[in-house]
Structure 1
Amino acid sequence: MIHRFNSSNYHSICDELASTDADLAAIIQTHGYPPFWSRPNTFETLVHIILEQQVSLASALSALNKLKERLQVLTPARLLLLTDEEMRACYVSRQKSGYLKYLAEALLSGQLNLTELEDMPDDQVRAKLVALKGIGNWTADVYLMFVLQHPDVFPIGDLAAVNAMKRVKKLPAETTKEQLLEIAANWQPYRTIATMLLWHFYLSAPREKRAAI
């Protein structure tokens, strides 16, 4: 059976983490609970996550909105009708245009079935996703966390989460990934929710401080 968190148990899991980690407790005390971030299990959501790779959330969202404006409904078949020039006009780079078309083809051919992923454990979901061109561990992590609500994922490739963790835990900048993963292991089996607390801290920090995180 696949374990998930949901809007009903979200705050109680935050409280459980706070009871064993004073730094996470301080985030809740200062900034309140993090939003319950979730996204539907759709082609549009995966397109959005791919667009978010290595760019600001705002620029990814404006590219997504441009695609939706042009296509009316963002489906794999409709996206494949766009030329490279039309994709560029929607602020989608040539590289990401290739990734999105590959994803659309995988869904249309049946190579990937999003509904089937809902009943798979983390490692199987990750294997299915990273087998696709343009999808790496970060994209798979975000999908597991936001879409499938799997509770125990720590996205070591996410700069905001990693930098917030270093600041919250007062760690030196040169702290290694291995050391960060070791600290995150203390949050099992709720590393996803701990990460959401870290993101909440990061997004709640004043803009000038955030730049220094």
Structure 2
Amino acid sequence: MRIDTIEDVETGLEALLQLDPRLQVIRDYAGQLPLRRNPAGFESLASIIVGQQVSIASAAAIWARFKQHIDPLTPENYLEQGAEVWKLTGLSRPKQKTFQHLSAALIGGQLDLPSLTTMPVNDAMAKLTAIHGIGPWTAEVYLLFAEGHADIFPSGDVALQEAVARAFGFDSRPSAKELSFLAKDWSPWRGIAARLFWAYYAASRGKEAAPVMSVM
């Protein structure tokens, strides 16, 4: 199963509510679920890496400089620009190294992003997290919003942890491990459950709540 259109979101949501009727109240509060899809490829993955562990505002500023200085935005051009240009983008040294490793893997064929679309999730995750600096959250968000995988729930995402805690009346946010266990009940539509809880979080806070990929 894949999530490529808003119709896929609606189909998945209907199936999800049948799996767990408790979510109907959350759905009513959250309102319309967005598709939030971006084209698969280097640019989408790059935007997620840029946004790791920084605020949405900071990510947007760095991303703008990144696209300005790495133009065209390709793995080959990233490596060609070198350390002085990388510094101008505002990227931290660890992220500069991540892009070095990612670019080299793409150019050398060790990583083929188009193939991740039809690859089993676990295999796709393994391919991405084998790249130095790409962790589970980055891989999950990319596979969910760029490759269209339907059964992914980024349990390490703080907004999702907070949303689930609020929705179910927990005293504190569940850990990534605890949330991953809870999310098993929403398989094979965990990607829809993630969209639902992000929408719920946004509605409860009265502002946008989504992975940093939305800076594109």
Could you state the TM-score of these two structures normalised by the residue count of structure 2? 0.87
Equivalent residue, structure 1, for 2:212: none
Q: Are the equivalent residues in 2 in contact too, given 1:11–1:33 (CA < 8 A)? A: no
Please tell me the root mean square deviation across aligned C-alpha atoms, in Å. 2.1
Q: Which residue of structure 2 aligns with residue 6 of structure 1? A: 4
Change beyond 3 A, Cα 1:201–1:67: same
Shift of 1:63: 1.4
Q: 1:172, CA displacement in angstroms? A: 2.0
Aligned runs of 1:72-87 on 2, under 5 Å? 72-87=71-86
Residue 166 (structure 1) aligns with: 165
* Cα distance in 2 between the residues matched to 1:145 and 1:12: 16
What runs of 5+ residues in structure 2 fail to find an aligned partner? 210-216
Aligned partner letter, 2:66 = L
Amino acid of the structure 1 residue aligned with 2:2: R
Distance 1:42 1:100 in 2: 14
Contact 2:12 2:192 in 1 (8 A): yes
Question: Contact between 1:103 and 1:132, CA under 8 Å: does it hold in 2?
Answer: yes
How far residue 24 of structure 1 moved from its aligned partner, in angstroms, is 2.8
SS in 1 for 2:29: helix
Q: Quick one: structure 1 residues 176 and 111, their matched pair in 2 at CA, closer, same or farther if it must change by over 3 Å?
A: closer
Which residue of structure 1 aligns with residue 213 of structure 2?
A: none
CA contact (8 A) 1:37 1:146 kept: yes
- Separation in 2, partners of 1:186, 1:119: 23
Give runs of aligned pairs for residues 129-168 of structure 1, distance below 5 A: 129-168=128-167
Offset at residue 139 of structure 1 (A): 1.0
Q: For 1:84-128, what per-residue CA distance to the aligned partner results, in whole angstroms no more than 9, with x for missing partners?
A: 332222121111011112111111111111112222100111111
Q: Distance in 2 between matches of 1:174 and 1:46?
A: 27
Offset at 1:40? 1.0
Structure 1 residue 28, shift from structure 2 partner: 2.7
Q: How far is the alpha carbon of 1:15 from its aligned partner?
A: 2.8
Give the direction of change, closer, same or farther, for the CA distance of 1:48–1:176 in structure 2 (3 Å limit): closer
Checking the alignment, whether the CA contact within 8 Å between 1:19 and 1:25 is kept in structure 2 is no
What percentage of residue pairs aligned between the two structures are identical? 35
Post-superposition CA distance 1:6-46 (Å, at most 9, x none)? 31221132233234545532233223122101111111111
Which 10-residue stretch deviates more, 15-24 or 37-46?
A: 15-24
Equivalent position SS for 2:52: coil
Unaligned runs of 5+ in 1: none
Query: How far does residue 78 in structure 1 lie from its aligned partner after superposition?
Result: 1.0
Provide the rounded CA distance (Å) in 1 between the counterparts of 2:80 and 2:32.
43
Secondary structure of 1:62 counterpart = helix
In structure 1, what is the equivalent of residue 214 of structure 2? none
For residues 128 and 115 of structure 1, the distance between their equivalents in structure 2, rounded to whole angstroms, comes to 12
Query: CA shift at 1:198, angstroms?
Result: 0.7
2:183 maps to which residue? 184
Give the AA of the match of 1:95. P
Counterpart contact for 1:41–1:147, Cα < 8 Å: yes
Cα separation, partners in 2 of 1:59 and 1:115, compared to 1, 3 Å: same
Are 1:58 and 2:57 matched, yes or no? Answer: yes
Shift of 1:179: 3.7
